[in-house]
Amino acid sequence: MNKERFFEWFWLIIKYSFAAGLLALLIRGFLLIPMPVQGSSMEDTVSQGDMVLVERLSSVKRFDVVVFNLPDGSTYVKRVIGLPGESVSYKDDQLYINDKKVAEPFLEDNLHSDDESAPYTHDFDFEELMGVKKLGKDSYFVIGDNRRLSKDSRSFGAISEDEILGTAHFVYYPLPHMKFI
């Protein structure tokens, strides 16, 4: 290989490497953000120390697992239960949205695996808990899947759309925990 051909290949590799690096930075910075999970409030969906990929582009839907920051600087991972304009309540471990029963299939294992004498999700009435009849325009009600140990909207109130960093879709580390959420 002559010297001229070597430099052509060398610059081609440099250009492609730069483009690939730039693309990786853009994807990591704006599309898929790695986030660590801290705490046990989302057991058995995600565990302490899991790393999740958070996506920022799609709109938030009921039962999405979201990552958000509160004004005090703390970061949480919780499940969206109530959407803007809705009322949320629990009675006898049953979720009610606007006074209609809604199933929570992701909790089936949790509801029957612990102490059956205590409710998994303690009863509450939305208006008594939140002081309003319905969630505001850009407000979401979030609860951890490990209901008995979760600090969530029942204690700190609804979260705003601006506080949501994105939706967690995939656990990628540690490898034995790898799964879609």
Residues forming the active site: 41, 78
The three-state DSSP-derived secondary structure of the chain is CCHHHHHHHHHHHHHHHHHHHHHHHHHHHHHEEEEECCCCCCCCCCCCCCEEEEECCCCCCCCCEEEEECCCCCEEEEEEEECCCCCEEEECCEEEECCEEECCHHHHHHHHHCCCCCCCCCCECHHHHHCCCCCCCCEEEEECCCHHHCCCHHHHCCEEHHHEEEEEEEEEECHHHCEEC
| C-alpha to C-alpha distance for 80 and 96, rounded to whole angstroms | 14
Which of 70, 117, 111 minimizes the C-alpha distance to 90? 111
